Every structure is written in C-alpha cells, then in structure tokens.
Amino acid sequence: MGTGSIMAIWKPFLLLGLLALCSARRPTPYDSRCKSSRPALQNNCNRRSYVFNRSTKQCSWTCGRGPFVTKVQCDSVCRSAAVCAAPRPFVQCQGRAFPVYYLNNRTGKCHLDMGCSYRGNNFPTLGECQRTCKAGKE
C-alpha cells in the first residue's frame, strides 16, 4: 500500500478532526458583570466588593455594591490591564481548546495560542489584547 493510498484513507478522518477542533464551543467572551455602569462608591464601609471601570480597564473597590468579591476575580473575568503582567496559568482544556490571544511579557507583543477560557491573560481578539495591554503588533 503506497503513501497516496494511506493518505486517501486517513484524509476524511483528518478532515473530521479538524472540523471538530474548529467548531469547539467557545464561551461568551464578555461577562455581563463587566458592563456595570455603577460608579465605585468609596467611603467608610465594612464590606468591600469590586466593579470594573470600562473606560480605565481597571477594577476598583466599592462599598458592597460591586458584582465581584475580590479584585483578582474582577481582574480575571473582565480582563483588566492587571492581567497583562500576570503569567498565564497552565490549563488542560480536555479537548475544548479554541484560539486566544495573550501578552507575552518577554516580547511585549500579543500572540495567538489555544486556550479554554477568556479569563486572565486570554483575550478573544488580537485587538483587545493590544488595547488592554498596550502591546505591539504580532
């Protein structure tokens, strides 16, 4: 059996595998909690929570009205500028990987990779990665 025959047999399977990889279900790239229009109310309070400011791309504490319990949670979910300096965690996607962009701190540029969430230093688009992290082009 020649190489051409082997490729003819495997070609449909490879095509199906590629199709399955490309059609992996992606999560919604934007969390509704990051679109809050509530201003951060910062006065004396017992319980702090956090809200994302879309214009500054930063998470700020507020007195008990924010959708996030911690700043780390807010930064990760809303992809604030703080995530650009954080290392990307190693995550096994278990077959549900899709394209993401991340800032490579060594090169200072956003690069394409595969990931399984849009949290932290995993952006849905190259443009968002570059705008958030003030990065150079790939």
CATH number listed for the domain at residues 27-78: 4.10.410
Confidence of residue 43 (pLDDT cuts 50, 70, 90): confident
Range(s) within the chain of domains with CATH label 4.10.410.10: 83-138
Q: Is 33 buried (19+), middle (13-18) or exposed (0-12) by CB count in 10 A?
A: middle
User: In Å, how far are 35, 74, 78 from 31, measured between CA atoms?
Assistant: 7, 10, 7
User: In Å, how far are 48, 63, 66, 123, 129 from 44, measured between CA atoms?
Assistant: 10, 8, 15, 35, 35
pTM of the model: 0.72
Above 90 in pLDDT, residue 74? yes
pLDDT in tens, 61-73: 998 778 999 999 9
pLDDT in tens, 51-60: 998 888 899 9
pLDDT in tens, 12-35: 555 455 444 444 567 788 899 998
Quick one: CA dihedral 25, 92, 136, 71, positive or negative? positive
- Can you identify the CATH homologous superfamily of domain 83-138? Pancreatic trypsin inhibitor Kunitz domain (4.10.410.10)
Q: Which two tokens stand for residue 57?
A: 């791309």
